[in-house]
Structure 1
Amino acid sequence: MTPAEAYLDLSVSLLERVRGQLPAIRQAADWFAETILAGQMVHVFGSGHSRILVEEMWPRYGSFPGFNPIVELSLTFHNLVVGANGQRQAMFLENVSGLASRILRNFDLKAGDSALVVSSSGCNVVPVEMAEEFQRRGVRVVALISELHADASTTRHPGGKKLQDCADLVLDTGAPVGDAMVKIEGLETPVAPGSTVGGCLVVNAIKAEVAQRLTAAGQPPKVLTAGVLVGPERATALFEAAYDEHARRIAPYYQGLGAAMPKA
């Protein structure tokens, strides 16, 4: 078996792991649809490469408004690797206690909101504290982790918590300990991670279930759709309508900021 064949076979096992979680996926979709139908937002957060799954949820083709992608460049900008804005700084900041509360200071969260927090290890400080802060403010949290990897990892959270300890529902990407899935003869360490593949399966399964619920409730979502499917004019209209809806949904989360705080 070639390394490529090994990776593809292991990816099939990720698919089966996700399929085995369908009841939990439907539960997450129930919560997210309830939030969106109420005119509110599902907040989606991930640091490091978990950012990929945040952007997979919204905005991209086949996705729709109702999700608030929270992506901090200081935690996710990997392109330069070293030097200013390098990977070392991002990995350091991912474990700075208190940063999550500063991020969420920018949003006036609402009762009835829900959240998806993504972290493969479930052990870095910022995602764990993000989930803690969401729950403290009455937001229901779905965690997306790699269970085997998270169970084998040591948390850096000052209270000893992992992301799965701060969630109302936990979903698993199915990725193995260490994430990388393929062993190469003569190479000490495995290559080719699986968490993104498994995570994308989970995220899109939830997305499809939410779309069905919104449509059944008489509020079909405005889906970002390629012009090759619906024609350029209809595609443009859908994009503009979806972005406008996102703006309307997110606006109330800024309007009440600081209203209850004492004046300086």
Structure 2
Amino acid sequence: MLSLEWLANARGIMQKIEETQLENIKEAASIMADSIESNNWVHTFGCGHATIPVEEMYPRIGGFVGFHPMVELPMTFFTGITGQMGIHQFLFLERAEGYGDAIMKAYNFNEKDCIWIFSHTGINNVNIDVALRAKELGMKVIVYGSAAEAKGKVTRHPSGKTIFEIADIVVDSCVPVVDASVNLKNHQDKIGPVSTLAFVTLVWMTVTTVAEILADRGVQLFIHPSHNVPGDTTAQERLDACLAEYKKRVASV
């Protein structure tokens, strides 16, 4: 069954992450913890399906204040597929030189912030422009993606570098560069991508590590609670406190 083949592939990716990326995750999480402890931000960015891990971490039950999602609607909302904000426009924009610079102009940053970018192949201009501008502003750049598989791929950026070559810290998603993982008879292209699963796995491995570091330092986190549990009479109060803290912090951005 192809469903079980995909499941085995997904498990294999998760196992490889566990076997090879724990130290890199801890290093990335330590930098993120430093930013959050100093009341600054971990800015998060991705394009296309790489916005899914950004949207997964905050706002999210079990997430906490400190992660600032930078999600550009034209770079993520292409479910119309054709017509307005379709695939053709998205592919043009993610490869457009200078669009990432324009995105960065829309925010205020602190050098004690860091930025966490998700990029499967690491070759497209928007992500690289964002990373380069972040480094110019003094921020640490943390990149998650298929770094080992991307070696040898030609970047589209005039710098001549992939985003993995620019990053201060790289965590490898351990995903094949083609992403899709299951062969289908009578077809050239594979089905069953695994990059989104890998990214979401890495998000929670990282965010839980950040939380552990901060808790060990005695930092009080503002955690987004579940407001759907019967009998939890203070859930709304905790949620309000969480959002109030986010609103206070995000005013600087």
Give the deviation of 1:235 after TM superposition.
2.1
**Residue in 1 that maps onto 2:210:** 210
Match of 2:14, SS state, is: helix
Task: Determine the C-alpha separation between the residues in 2 that align with 1:246 and 1:201.
Answer: 24
Match of 1:184, SS state, is: coil
Partners of 1:77 and 1:87 within 8 A in 2? no
Task: Determine the C-alpha separation between the residues in 2 that align with 1:216 and 1:175.
Answer: 32
**Residue in 2 that maps onto 1:91:** 91
**Residue in 1 that maps onto 2:184:** 184
Segments of structure 1 that go 5 or more residues without pairing to the other structure are: 254-264
**Residue in 2 that maps onto 1:13:** 12
Partners of 1:211 and 1:220 within 8 A in 2? no
Alignment of 1:163-174 (within 5 A): 163-174=163-174
Aligned length: 252
Match of 1:249, SS state, is: helix
Task: Determine the C-alpha separation between the residues in 2 that align with 1:173 and 1:65.
Answer: 24
Q: Which structure 1 residue ranges, 4+ long, deviate > 3 Å from structure 2?
A: 227-233
**Residue in 2 that maps onto 1:132:** 132
User: Which amino acid in the other structure matches residue 37 of structure 1?
Assistant: E
Instruction: Return the TM-score normalized by structure 1.
Output: 0.91
Give the deviation of 1:149 after TM superposition.
4.1
Task: Determine the C-alpha separation between the residues in 1 that align with 2:192 and 2:235.
Answer: 35
Give the deviation of 1:152 after TM superposition.
5.2
Partners of 2:100 and 2:130 within 8 A in 1? yes
Give the deviation of 1:154 after TM superposition.
2.7
Partners of 1:149 and 1:178 within 8 A in 2? no
Give the deviation of 1:148 after TM superposition.
4.4
Alignment of 1:41-60 (within 5 A): 41-60=41-60
Pick closer, same or farther for the CA change 1:209–1:231 going to 2, 3 Å. farther
Task: Determine the C-alpha separation between the residues in 2 that align with 1:86 and 1:64.
Answer: 33
User: Which amino acid in the other structure matches residue 236 of structure 1?
Assistant: Q
Give the deviation of 1:238 after TM superposition.
2.2
Give the deviation of 1:58 after TM superposition.
1.1
Pick closer, same or farther for the CA change 1:47–1:231 going to 2, 3 Å. farther
Residue identity (%): 31
Instruction: Return the TM-score normalized by structure 2.
Output: 0.95
Match of 1:108, SS state, is: coil
RMSD, aligned CA: 1.5
Match of 2:44, SS state, is: strand
